[in-house]
Amino acid sequence: MDTIKDYVQKNKERFLNELIDLLKIPSVSADSAYSQDVIDTANAVKASLEKAGCDFVEICDTPGYPIVYGEKIIDKNLPTVLVYGHYDVQPPDPLDLWTSPPFEPVIKKTDLHPDGAIFARGACDDKGQMYMHVKALEYMVQTNNLPCNVKFMIEGEEEVGSASLSWFVERNQEKLKNDVILISDTGMISNTQPSITTGLRGLSYVEVEVTGPNRDLHSGLYGGAVANPINVLAKMIASLHDENNHITIPGFYDKVEELSDAERAEMAKAPFSLEAYKKALDLNDIYGEKGYTTNERNSIRPTLDVNGIWGGYTGEGAKTVIASKAYAKISMRLVPNQDWHEITELFTKHFESIAPSGVTVKVKPHHGGQGYVTPIDSIGYQAAAKAYNESFGVQPIPVRSGGSIPIVALFEKELKSKTILMGFGLDSDAIHSPNEHFGVFNYLKGIETIPLFYKYFVELFKVK
């Protein structure tokens, strides 16, 4: 019988080409111009699950984009793994910064990926990492190594808040019943030091609009005499952080879990070079909340960032105008115990309260999600650790990620099971950025590691 290593080697080219075909479809969920492509991607995922060996696959309609559900039930008495992933991708802009078109995947070598990496929007987040599970299933089915039942739930709105997925999960608890949820939508420290994400930050994403005069005005005739919505918006945004970069929204930190010195010391053990970090981003210095290290700032601390701002004349040349309106998209990363609905309310109340007279302010909540922490004593975590250890030959390190997968907290609430975050990407893979890529090594290593998780999970489950 083939070992997984042999199987991956034998099918390497096909595995890469199948993923490349999937990456060619621009499934940008944030932009309705791509809606047909998002649907086409769902259908491609359905076909791939059938081909991989699911007994039953369906496209489930939702109020938004469909969810692809697939399953292979081999024995009702065996445990069930629910695989979650998403087939939608982030918008590709700014396009001019891509060295190759975002939806024309190419394999190029990089310093960190000497075997080459697939460059395309969604290569790592999340088509590539999701497709590893499809190919792992194919292997287990083809070689009779599937030790338990498996279910797939692949959604198309992760990049815009997973609204339809919550709707779907709330209505399909029985269908989605499982013993552990497996997700590959995070990263690891490096290709020589695997890690398992045990914490995720929550998210609150809002859009704000500041309105001054009822029309754009000549800045000469009105400049200095009316509130300029852009200047006002800048002042309001600036006031959201104090001189120590603490967030000034009243009540914002009330429920933030403060880690013990011991826990912080444990975290500090993860290999990290500030010099390399700054060099990779061409930064002369870092920046952030006083009293915390870089790794703490982007994992155990909540943050507030403007993700986009616009107003007035942004074209070529000069226009002496005072805009009627100015806008910003603002997101807050939250830590466990911060409730995103509550934070969104606190933000809205505060932001409206600091608007000076002379302007009106609107806050429109976009979406959000709760933070999450995986217990490292769960059999799911232990099975994942054994799997990485066997395929990489190194014990994985548990790490807290700064990112958010809003749906994970909902899974625990609705499906009563723990989520294991087996990520194979690297921070340098530029997800959400131009030139997103995913290492060929990482892709194949993921396919190789996943069946080991199934094996150890079922073993540990039986002795439980």
Query: In the range 205-244, which residues lie near its own copies by CB under 8 A?
Result: 205, 207, 212-228, 230-231, 233-235, 237-239, 241
Residue whose C-alpha is closest to residue 145's, from 351, 2, 36, 14: 2
> Which string of b and e fits 368-390 if b means at least 16 CB within 10 Å?
bbbbbebeeebbbbebbbbbbbe
**Smallest gap, in angstroms, from Cβ of residue 193 to its own copies?**
17
Kindly list the distances between the CA atom of residue 211 and the CA atoms of 10, 174, 229, 331, in Å, as whole numbers in the listed order.
61, 48, 6, 21
Residue 101 in the binding site for its own copies (CB under 8 A): no
Beta carbons of 289 and 245 less than 8 angstroms apart: yes
Residues 115, 93: Cα–Cα separation, whole Å:
27
Question: CB pairs under 8 A, 24+ apart, for 6-11?
Answer: 7/139, 7/142, 7/143, 8/139, 8/444, 8/447, 8/448, 11/135
Nearer to its own copies, 132 or 326 (CB): 326
Does residue 463 touch its own copies according to CB under 8 A?
Answer: no
Q: Which two tokens stand for residue 138?
A: 């194919």
Asked if 227 and 358 touch (Cβ cutoff 8 Å), the reply is: yes
182 belongs to the binding site for its own copies (CB under 8 A): no
For β-strands 325-334 and 202-211, DSSP reports them as antiparallel
Among positions 25, 210, 328, 422, the unique one binding its own copies when judged by CB under 8 A: 328
305 interacts with its own copies by CB under 8 A: yes
* Choice between 225 and 262, CB closer to its own copies: 225
Binders of its own copies among residues 348 to 367 (CB under 8 A) are 356-358, 360, 366-367
128 contacts its own copies (rule: CB under 8 A)? no
Residue 98 sits in the site that holds its own copies (CB under 8 A): no
What is the side-by-side strand order in the sheet with 117-119? 106-108, 117-119, 437-439
Q: Is 346 in the site for its own copies (CB under 8 A)?
A: no
- In the complex with its own copies, which residue's Cβ is closer, 262 or 281? 281
Question: Is position 74 an interface residue for its own copies (rule: CB under 8 A)?
Answer: no
Q: Min. distance of Cβ 212 from its own copies in angstroms?
A: 7
CB of 341 to its own copies, least distance (A): 16
Applying the rule CB under 8 A, the residues between 382 and 401 that interact with its own copies are 401
Q: How far is the CB of 158 from its own copies (least distance, A)?
A: 11
Q: Which of 40, 115, 289, 459 binds its own copies (CB under 8 A)?
A: 289
Q: Which of residues 79 and 187 has its CB atom nearest to its own copies in the complex?
A: 187
Site for its own copies in 257-286 (CB under 8 A): 281-286
Closest CA relative to residue 20, chosen from 96, 122, 157, 133: 122
Determine which residue in the list 6, 21, 50, 93 makes contact with its own copies, applying CB under 8 A: 93
Nearer to its own copies, 239 or 395 (CB): 239
Residue of 370, 279, 296 lying closest to 333 (CA atoms): 370
Q: Helix, strand, or coil here: 148?
A: coil
**Separation between Cα atoms, residue 140 and residue 123, nearest integer Å:** 23
- In angstroms, rounded to a whole number, what is the distance separating the alpha carbons of residues 435 and 424? 18
Nearer of residues 255 and 329 to its own copies, judged by Cβ = 329
CA-nearest of 448, 449, 452 to 10 is 448
In the complex, least distance from residue 409 CB atom to its own copies, rounded to whole angstroms: 15
- The residue among 13 and 305 lying less far from its own copies, judged by its C-beta, is 305
Report if residue 404 touches its own copies, rule: CB under 8 A.
yes
Task: State the number of binding residues for its own copies (CB under 8 A).
Answer: 102
